[in-house]
Amino acid sequence: MRKHKEVRIKYDKQSMTILKGTAILATILFVVGLILMLIEISGTEVIMLLALYIGGGLAFACYTALVAGWLYMKRLKRYGYKIPENKSHYDGKIENLPKLINVEETSIYSLHSKWCSRACALIFAVFFVLDVLYFLKWKFMKDNCKSLFVLCFLFYLIWIIFAFALKKQSNKEKYRDDVEIDTARKERWSLEQILFTMIILCLLSLFANYTAHSMTGYIFNTMVEHDIVQADIVLRGVAGAVRECEAVTCEESYTELREGVDITTWGVPKDELQILIAEAMSIDDFSFMRDDFKVSDGDAQIYVKITDDKVIVRLLNPIAEVSKYSKKNNEIYVESDF
């Protein structure tokens, strides 16, 4: 048996009136801040920021409390209590409130816990699908993607924990509404508390999903930038070697470059032109370059072609997922005049 504890009155008409007045004043202050921001009067920047942040924050808090108070008074009415003008007249206790009608039913609002429990399970399913879609989009990022996928999934499990807690609170024998005076049972979360918590969790879950996408996208773009730099190194090495080797006999490699060739197939340099290119890029074997490109999954095909006035370098095979989901990066391409 739980120790008897008095159930206090949370809201009365007087507190609701004060909240309404404060909400109106805070809204006016916020609007003044918006006007100052739009008209951009010099020297009013501090006033504008104070009006926006203080007015906006206070207005949000007051309107939230007004909604909570309105729902609380609906519960008082449903249980037959008179809405108090001033709770101090009743020593702040619900048991001192007069009843206008006698209501025998208990835990009337237990269904709120049950419905919200189901809603939490549904929301978890939605965010799990978003997590899977994230994984499918960025799975070529391997460890980065897997780590963020798991972290997001573990965070989304809070919806399941919350759903179980609400399901438990729907038990009428163990939990009561906050306007019932039977303190032998635990007090369940009210609808406004549940909804506020769900809104916060939704915002955090959306932020987690957005952060996973943005972090992975940033890493991917960094990899692409790295590959562009690597392709530019190849371009400058080939251009410099061709200029230096024009008078040297290296017909086979020069012909391949004119027709276009994947230089990773050259392997160990075989003639003067290949040796000059390898020296310019500080490598001993062209096949090693397959590992230099981040988005090619360790199997780059570096297509190089020279014309009379240009050197063109393309990374032919960024992995399939890059081509599928990031079409603008499906080919790393650089070219330069001689």
Q: Give the pLDDT of residue 122.
A: 97
Q: Give the pLDDT of residue 105.
A: 86
Q: Give the pLDDT of residue 296.
A: 65
Q: Give yes or no for a contact between 329 and 295, defined as CB atoms under 8 angstroms apart.
A: yes
Q: Give the pLDDT of residue 2.
A: 45
Work out the angle between the directed axes of helices 13-39 and 45-78 (0-180°, nearest 10): 150
- Per-residue pLDDT of the chain (338 residues), as tens digits, is 444 568 899 999 999 999 999 999 999 999 999 998 888 777 778 888 999 999 999 999 999 999 999 999 999 999 999 999 999 998 988 989 998 888 888 899 999 999 999 999 999 999 999 999 999 888 777 778 899 999 999 999 999 999 999 999 999 999 999 999 888 899 999 999 999 999 999 999 999 999 999 998 888 888 777 777 877 888 888 888 877 776 455 778 888 888 888 888 888 888 888 888 888 888 888 888 877 777 666 567 788 888 877 777 777 555 544 444 444 444 555 555 54
> What is the bridge-based pairing of β-strands 332-337 and 302-306?
unpaired
Q: Give yes or no for a contact between 109 and 92, defined as CB atoms under 8 angstroms apart.
A: no
What is the token pair recorded at 179? Answer: 């306007």
* Alpha carbons 269 and 277: distance in angstroms, whole number: 9
Q: Give the pLDDT of residue 128.
A: 97
Q: Give yes or no for a contact between 206 and 159, defined as CB atoms under 8 angstroms apart.
A: no
What DSSP designation does 321 have? Answer: H
> What is the bridge-based pairing of β-strands 302-306 and 186-187?
unpaired
Decide: residue 167, CB within 10 A, 0-12 exposed, 13-18 middle, 19+ buried. middle
Q: Give the pLDDT of residue 328.
A: 46
How much is the pTM?
A: 0.76
Dihedral angle at the C-alpha atoms of 132, 136, 141, 143, nearest 10 degrees? 40
What DSSP designation does 88 have? Answer: G
Tokens 């024998």, residue located: 173
